[in-house]
Amino acid sequence: MYLAPIMIAAGLHKLHNYEDMVAWFGNADWGLGLPAPALMVSLAIFAELVGGISLLIGLAVRWFAIPLIISMAVAMMTVHWDHGWFAIAPGNPETSTAKVLADIGIPAAQRSLENSEEVGRRVAVAKSLLKDNGNYSWLTEKGSFVVLNNGIEFAATYLVMLLSLFFTGGGRFFSLDYWLKRHFWRDVEG
pLDDT attached to residue 82: 87
Relative to beta strand 147-148, strand 88-89 is: antiparallel
Which run of H or E residues covers position 135? Answer: none
The number of C-alpha atoms within 13 Å of 54 and in the hemisphere containing its C-beta is 22
* pTM as predicted: 0.85
Name the β-bridge partners of 148: 88
Give the Cβ contact number of residue 178 at 10 Å.
16
pLDDT of 36: 97
Residues 55-90: b if buried by 16+ CB within 10 A, e if exposed: bbebbbbeebbebbbebbebbbeebbeebbbbbebb
Supply the pLDDT for residue 182: 82
Task: State the pLDDT at residue 188.
Answer: 59
Exposure letters 125-138 (e unless 16+ CB within 10 A, then b): eeeeeeeeeeeeee
Amino acid 67: pLDDT: 98
pLDDT tens figures, 161-190:
999 999 999 888 888 888 888 888 766 555
Query: Quick one: average pLDDT of 39-54?
Result: 97
Cβ contacts of residue 5 below 8 Å, gap of 6+? Answer: 52, 56
Q: What are all long-range contacts of 92-96, with beta carbons under 8 Å and residues at least 24 apart?
A: 92/116, 92/120, 93/117, 93/120
Specify the range with the lowest mean pLDDT, choosing from 4-8, 17-21, 92-96.
92-96
**Contact (CB, 8 A) for 117 and 93:** yes
**How does pLDDT run across 56-115, given as a tens digit for each residue?**
999 999 999 999 999 999 999 999 998 888 999 899 999 999 999 999 999 888 888 898
158 three-state secondary structure: helix
pLDDT of residue 176: 85
DSSP 94: T
What is the distance of C-alpha 144 from the center of its chain? Answer: 21
SS3 17: coil
Could you state, in order of their start, the residue ranges of all structural domains in the chain? Answer: 1-85+150-190, 88-149
> What are the pLDDT digits (tens) for 124-146?
999 999 999 989 999 899 998 88
